[in-house]
Structure 1
C-alpha cells in the first residue's frame, strides 16, 4: 500500500472517530434534556400536590373550627359556657376554669374536692365550671378537647360531677395524650353508674360539643387569665391567695350563707 493511500485511510478513520464523538455528545445532551424535563415535571407535580395538601389541611382546620356550637344541657352564663353545679339560690358562686390535662387543676381538685362537694350539697355554694384546652396548645395533642367534650356529654346525661371527678382521678401525665382516645374516655365512663350508654358513646365519638369546647377555650384566652386552674369566689381570685385553704373557703362560704 502506498504512503498516500495509508494517509487517506488514516484521515478517514480520524474523521469517523470525530463524527462518532459528536454523535455521542449530542445523544448525551439529548438524554440530559429528557432527564432534566422529567425532574422539572416531578418537582412541579410535587409542588402542586403540596399546595393541594396544604389547602386540604386548611379546609380541615376551618371546618373543625367552624363546627356547630352545641352547648350541653343546663349550660348557663355568658354564651352558655358554664356548667353549673349546686343550687341556683346559693349565696356564693365559685367560678372554676380548668383543663382535664392540667396537673395543677388536679392538685386543686385533690385539695378542695370534698369541701366543694360538701358546700354544694348543702346548698351553700354554686360552682360554674368552664373548660379550657390550653395543654393541647402547649404540649400538642387533643386530649384536653376530647375530655372536655366527654365531660359535656356527661352533663347531658346528668352525671357531670361524677365523671369530672373520675377524669381527674385517672389523669395521665401532662405529656401523655391518653385522653385523646375516645375509647379511653368511654372506658372511664363505666366507673360512673348509668353513664356508659349508647347516647353517651355517640356524643363522645361524634364530638357533639367540640364547637362549644372551642368557644369556651376562646373565652378563656380572651379573659386575661394567667393559667389553669383559675378559681374565683364571687369574682375574687382565691387560687392566687396563698392564705386560702379548704377550711378557710368553707368558713367564708358558710359565713356568707348566714
Structure 2
C-alpha cells in the first residue's frame, strides 16, 4: 500500500474518531441537561410541597389553636368569667379592659360593694374582657393582662388577681402589662397563684384567641366603651342624668333579691 493511501486511511480514521468524540460530548451534555432539569423539577416540586405543608400546618394550628376558654367560663361561646353563686337573682355583666383608667375608677369605687354582694349570694358577676386600649394607644398590655387573668381563672384565683391588676394598673400610655414577667410578678401578690402551670399559661398565651374573640364580641355588641356595666341586662352605668353609685347598686340588687 502506498504511503499516500495509508495517510488517507489514517485521516479518515481520525475524522471518524473526532466525530465520535464530538457525538459523545453532545450526548453527555444532553444527559446533563436532562438530569439537571430533573433535579430542578424535583427541587421545585419539593418547594411547592413545602409551601403546601407549611400552609397546611398553619391551617391546622389555627383550627386546633382555636379558642381555648378558661375553666368555668360561661355564656355564649364561653366568653364570660363568672364570680358569685349561680343561685343569685341578679347578674352584673361587666365589660372591662385592664389598661382602661375608667375601668380602674369603676373598680376602685365599686369593688367593696360588689364583693359584699357576691359573698352574700345576692349578686353574680360575669366579667367580659376587652382590649380597646391596645388598639387606641398601641401595645399589647390589654391582651397580655387578660390572658393572665384567664390563666388565674384556671387556678380558681381570678377575683384576687383581677383586683391586683387594677390596684397596680400603670398609666394608660405605659404598656407595662405587655411584659409577662411583670404580670407574673404581680401574680405573686396572690397566694398560691404562681405555679409552673400558671407561668406556662401566661408565657404561652394560652387564652389569647379567647381574649380576641371576647373583644370581637364587645365590638359586635355595639357598646360605646369600657367599662360597660349591665344589671340584669340593663345598662346602669354612665348615665350622667342618673348616675349609678355603690349605694344605688346595692339597693337595686337587694330589691331584686326580695322580689
User: Structure 1 residue aligned with 2:78, among 77, 80, 86?
Assistant: 80
2:168 is matched with which residue? 170
Deviation (angstroms), 1:66: 8.8
User: Structure 2 residue aligned with 1:223, among 217, 221, 224?
Assistant: 221
Distance 1:65 1:218 in 2: 18
1:255 is matched with which residue? 255
Q: Secondary structure at the match of 2:93?
A: strand
2:98 is matched with which residue? 100
2:121 is matched with which residue? 123
Distance 1:202 1:88 in 2: 30
Deviations 1:52-97 (A, max 9, x none): xxxxxxxx9xx88994210000000000000000001101000000
Unmatched tracts of structure 2, length 5 or more:
1-57
Q: Kindly tell me: are residues 183 and 66 of structure 1, through their superposed partners in 2, closer, same or farther at Cα, counting changes over 3 Å?
A: same
Counterparts of 1:135-174 in structure 2, within 5 Å, are 135-174=133-172
2:193 is matched with which residue? 195
Deviations 1:191-210 (A, max 9, x none): 00110111100000000000
1:133 is matched with which residue? 131
1:110 is matched with which residue? 108
Deviations 1:150-205 (A, max 9, x none): 00000000000000000000000001000000000000000001101111000000
1:90 is matched with which residue? 88
Q: Secondary structure at the match of 1:129?
A: strand
Q: Secondary structure at the match of 1:123?
A: coil
Q: TM-score, normalised by structure 1?
A: 0.74
Query: RMSD across aligned C-alpha pairs, in angstroms?
Result: 1.7
Distance 1:132 1:64 in 2: 21
Distance 1:64 1:134 in 2: 23
Unmatched tracts of structure 1, length 5 or more:
1-59
Q: Secondary structure at the match of 1:244?
A: coil
Q: Secondary structure at the match of 2:125?
A: strand
